Structure 1
Amino acid sequence: MSGPDADAAAASDGGEQLRACREATRRRLRERVGAIVRAVRAPLADVLRDHALVHLPPAAAARLRLVHPSWARALASPLFAVAHAAAPRRASGLFVAAPDPGLLFLPLDAADTVPSPPLAFLPASSAPAVLSSSQGVACCFSSADDAYFVCNPATGSWEGVPCPPCRITWPRPAIVVLFDASVYNFGGDFTLVCAFESAPGSGIYCFALFTSVTGAWWVADAVAPAEGLIPASGVAAGGVAWWRTSIGTAVGYNPVTGRVELAVCPGDSAHWEIGSAAGKLHCAVLADGDVVVFRLDGNSGWEVAATVPVAEILQQRPWQPEPSYELTDSSSSDDDDVENRAEQDRAGAIPAAASRFWMPRDDVRLLPFQGAEVEVVLLAGRRVVAFDTVTRRRREALLPEQPAGTDWGAAAYAAHTNTLALVARVVLMEPPDDQEVAS
């Protein structure tokens, strides 16, 4: 076909395509408007069930099962548990290794606690130690039973895992649990990363890995210089297991890429702590009466995320020196007394100027932190204060009285966030042929 007939046919085809495109656009618009109308007309109870429940603490959500059968079904759904774990939230509290009863949970919100602070649901003969926690999933170790567990303290679900390879020795296992809280982790799969010295006293560390999918430990090829690695400092951030060292460095291992990451403390390494916020590694440094929070960038460097005075976190007034006056002879004249007082006022000008700045106490310690936003956690005596650097709001808890000689500053702390995260079943498998058998 050619000539005028071909032009007419082409114009007709073009017109049909244009009409089809317009009709598809109108259809999509009608669907969107219909969805908006349905959302506007939806009962308030349905809106709360579908959009608000995931942001509640597990204990509060559990109490709402009795509101309506549809709420009970929604809360019992595995999909709701996955969505609850994926919702952004702040830390619920800290697990503390206490002399008595051995393990306690210190909630930062009274309504956001765990049913069994000593984790009595675990089949352990004594209170276990919480080695690390990520997105509501915790890795625990019972030294009395030489047993390891991965559990959700908020729901009481748990799975036993085998011991790492026998060539690993320690006073305390340096294990970090990595848990993907995205909506795609329907099974609750997790990964454990254990750092251990290649030879005692070498300062060179290797990494053993365990996943719920494989059901066995294996040792990665990567090694890292990590002299003085602090086992209790382990934290998960962005899919990487991190630890602090006593020489002012942070060492991380990424099980996906198999790469080791190193970062140097950006301040005084005697007063710093690492944590996780918004899926990235952060560190808090105590210096000159301030807490400076740094965020790790993509090039293993640090950038300042927030600076907060310690006095503001603890709600304390600036340090005020005690007034002191020199004793004068009672026989001195009134003019001498006036002159002495004037000299004392001049000499006191320096302490008065210094009183504008808070002088940090020796018992102030930074604690581990995690959450959707940066929240600095400080220990001062028995007080534990969490301070949100964005909203400037604080949450506070008080450690219990302990027998004389108990040093809360020397205790091991693990930050924890309560979620309804599922814990995958572990089907134990034989280790690879080139790996040592777990003891």
Structure 2
Amino acid sequence: MDQTASAAMSCCDDASTSEDQQLACRQASRRRPRERVRCAPAPAPLADVVREHALLHLTPAAAARLRLVHPAWARRLASPLFAVAHAATPRRMSGLFVPTSGFLPFDSSDAVPSRTLAFAPASPGSITVLSSSHGLACCFSPADDAYFLCNPATASWAPVPCPPCRPTWPRPAMVVLFDASPYNFRGDYALVCAAEVAPGSGAYCFKVFTSGTGAWRVAAGDDAIVPAEGLVAASGVATGAGGMKTAWWRTSVGTAVGYSPATGRVEIVLCPGDSGMWEIGSAGGKLHCAVRDGSDVAVFRLIGEHGSCSWEEVTRVSVTELLPSRQVKLSESEGSGDDCELESASVAVVEEKEVRRLDDDGVRLLGFQGGAAWPEVVVLAGRRLVAFDTRTRRRREVTVPDPEEEEEQDEEQQRWDGAEYAVHTNTLALVAPAVLAGEPMLVDESLSAPPDEA
């Protein structure tokens, strides 16, 4: 308390003072708070608040269009610091990369400049997206025998050397680990590849690539070799925060296998339900899974630490809520009388076929990812690809193109059945150029034999 206020209070406490003096004392005691109010900083202009905070929640396509609003917005959106902050902002998934049609966004505002990644230096039509995390996608071109990491939203890319003892199966089991913290200014990343030690053995080891070193290493020790019979390469997903990331895959025998390059630990968890109808995903940095349970889809979250993990059910969604029957609305100009009765009968037939298809288990669960704590369940039913938010109960849907209707597709191209895909979330994440130091080398030599000699 300053001297003026102290003197004013002591003056007011003195009973011998006159009324005029007491009034002066009370005015002096109020003078200091009023001065503090006058000295308070003025609120920031609304334009500055929007530029610094609201732009982070835009999709990359919308951010590119808004560069024309004002030069200050253009500078902000072109800043590398903004790209880092944009990648660190939690957001929902944008769509899926599928073999037949490229990228399928759930919203038109989440489209990418080239759905087939035509900007990449690879043979046309041969690019396969193996994994994606926070906007960075790891791609493989079988025709060129080349790997690269790219950001489909910004058309930036960087080459990646082939893993040692290259896998022989059609699709490498790869997972992108990207630290989406505000301190990853270079856009550094890591890749984890699960490789079978010997063909048909069912035992897998893990190979790790980091953009900072530019080389692959094979995880050492007996603990880094895990039984993972029937490992599904397309099911890879990343969990964790900061540098403590974990790569997960599910298997066809009802288990999920995870490996953390930071700790070197391997985790194995069992499916909490029917292992024939389940899929894993990531939400809020935690491992989740969706399991078909009769007419419902149950969503679980993995809780606990290494060695004491368990599944916790977080929500349950009915299949009819995920895929409601489509109804046809007739206008007065479309017909009346007998015509309307015939149309109503055809609608009933369509709805009956829809219900019969659902009862025959025609719904396929797919993997999912997102920055929010509540996951979005993804299902495929025929040509309907649906993402359902388990918190808001909102549905986003896209129709999968039919190869027969696509003029650019091969005549022998089959309709996508959901077996091969990669879930993707659009961000402005930077792609760090890998420090390529010649041929990839095995850093850890403790394995008894390379996979091709075991």
Q: Determine whether 1:424 maps to 2:432.
A: yes
- Selected match of 2:108 from 86, 107, 110: 110
Amino acid paired to 1:180: D
Q: Which residues in structure 2 correspond to 1:133-144 (within 5 Å)?
A: 133-144=132-143
What SS does the corresponding residue of 1:312 show, helix, strand or coil? helix
- The residue number in structure 2 matching 1:233 is 235
Give distance in 2, aligned partners of 1:114 and 1:105: 8
Q: Deviations over 1:7-44 (max 9, x none)?
A: xxxxxxxxxxxxxxxxxxx9xx979x84xx43x3x222
Q: Determine whether 1:312 maps to 2:314.
A: no
Deviation at 1:425, TM superposition (A): 1.1
- 8 A contact 2:300–2:313 mirrored in 1: yes
- The residue number in structure 1 matching 2:402 is 401
Give distance in 1, aligned partners of 2:433 and 2:418: 35
Amino acid paired to 2:394: R
> Quick one: structure 1 residues 437 and 48, their matched pair in 2 at CA, closer, same or farther if it must change by over 3 Å?
farther
Amino acid paired to 1:394: R
- The residue number in structure 2 matching 1:260 is 266
What SS does the corresponding residue of 2:109 show, helix, strand or coil? coil
- The residue number in structure 2 matching 1:303 is 312
> Quick one: structure 1 residues 95 and 397, their matched pair in 2 at CA, closer, same or farther if it must change by over 3 Å?
same
- 8 A contact 2:98–2:416 mirrored in 1: no
- 8 A contact 2:218–2:442 mirrored in 1: no
- 8 A contact 1:311–1:358 mirrored in 2: no
- 8 A contact 2:218–2:443 mirrored in 1: no
Q: Which residues in structure 2 correspond to 1:169-188 (within 5 Å)?
A: 169-188=168-187
- The residue number in structure 2 matching 1:61 is 63
> Quick one: structure 1 residues 65 and 230, their matched pair in 2 at CA, closer, same or farther if it must change by over 3 Å?
same
Give distance in 1, aligned partners of 2:260 and 2:444: 22
Q: Deviations over 1:46-86 (max 9, x none)?
A: 11101100000000011111111111110011110011001
Amino acid paired to 1:284: A
> Quick one: structure 1 residues 195 and 229, their matched pair in 2 at CA, closer, same or farther if it must change by over 3 Å?
same
What SS does the corresponding residue of 1:258 show, helix, strand or coil? coil
Q: Deviations over 1:312-344 (max 9, x none)?
A: 111239xxxxxxxxxxxxxxxxxxxxxxxxxxx
Give distance in 1, aligned partners of 2:380 and 2:414: 14
Give distance in 2, aligned partners of 1:30 and 1:212: 52
- The residue number in structure 1 matching 2:50 is 48
User: Could you state the TM-score of these two structures normalised by the residue count of structure 1?
Assistant: 0.79
> Quick one: structure 1 residues 202 and 437, their matched pair in 2 at CA, closer, same or farther if it must change by over 3 Å?
closer
Deviation at 1:191, TM superposition (A): 0.3
Amino acid paired to 1:429: A
Give distance in 2, aligned partners of 1:110 and 1:400: 15
What SS does the corresponding residue of 2:380 show, helix, strand or coil? strand
- 8 A contact 1:177–1:190 mirrored in 2: yes
Amino acid paired to 1:85: A
- The residue number in structure 2 matching 1:380 is 381
> Quick one: structure 1 residues 167 and 71, their matched pair in 2 at CA, closer, same or farther if it must change by over 3 Å?
closer
Give distance in 1, aligned partners of 2:416 and 2:166: 32
Question: How many residues in Structure 1 have an aligned counterpart in Structure 2?
Answer: 368
What SS does the corresponding residue of 2:225 show, helix, strand or coil? strand
What SS does the corresponding residue of 1:370 show, helix, strand or coil? coil
- Selected match of 2:420 from 401, 412, 416: 412
What SS does the corresponding residue of 1:307 show, helix, strand or coil? strand
> Quick one: structure 1 residues 405 and 135, their matched pair in 2 at CA, closer, same or farther if it must change by over 3 Å?
closer
Amino acid paired to 2:172: P
What SS does the corresponding residue of 1:46 show, helix, strand or coil? helix
Deviation at 1:198, TM superposition (A): 0.8
> Quick one: structure 1 residues 248 and 433, their matched pair in 2 at CA, closer, same or farther if it must change by over 3 Å?
closer
- 8 A contact 1:290–1:307 mirrored in 2: yes
Give distance in 1, aligned partners of 2:413 and 2:436: 44
Give distance in 2, aligned partners of 1:437 and 1:182: 35
Give distance in 1, aligned partners of 2:72 and 2:420: 42
- The residue number in structure 1 matching 2:330 is none
User: Could you state the TM-score of these two structures normalised by the residue count of structure 2?
Assistant: 0.77
Q: Which residues in structure 2 correspond to 1:200-211 (within 5 Å)?
A: 200-211=199-210
Give distance in 1, aligned partners of 2:288 and 2:147: 28
What SS does the corresponding residue of 2:247 show, helix, strand or coil? strand
Give distance in 2, aligned partners of 1:210 and 1:187: 16
What SS does the corresponding residue of 1:409 show, helix, strand or coil? coil
Of 63-72 and 166-175, the range deviating more from structure 2: 166-175
- The residue number in structure 2 matching 1:324 is none
Deviation at 1:407, TM superposition (A): 4.0
What SS does the corresponding residue of 2:67 show, helix, strand or coil? helix
- Selected match of 2:288 from 259, 282, 289: 282
> Quick one: structure 1 residues 67 and 297, their matched pair in 2 at CA, closer, same or farther if it must change by over 3 Å?
same
- 8 A contact 2:59–2:426 mirrored in 1: yes
Amino acid paired to 1:208: K
- 8 A contact 1:289–1:357 mirrored in 2: no
Amino acid paired to 2:203: I
Q: Deviations over 1:91-121 (max 9, x none)?
A: 00111011xxxx5111001111111000011
Deviation at 1:301, TM superposition (A): 1.0
- The residue number in structure 1 matching 2:390 is 389
Amino acid paired to 1:244: R
Q: Deviations over 1:214-243 (max 9, x none)?
A: 100010021111011011111111111011
What SS does the corresponding residue of 2:52 show, helix, strand or coil? helix
RMSD in angstroms over aligned alpha carbons?
2.7
Q: Deviations over 1:194-228 (max 9, x none)?
A: 00111111111000000001100010021111011
What SS does the corresponding residue of 2:249 show, helix, strand or coil? strand
- Selected match of 1:245 from 251, 258, 270: 251
- 8 A contact 1:126–1:142 mirrored in 2: no
- 8 A contact 1:165–1:438 mirrored in 2: no
Amino acid paired to 2:212: V
Deviation at 1:167, TM superposition (A): 5.2
Amino acid paired to 2:319: V
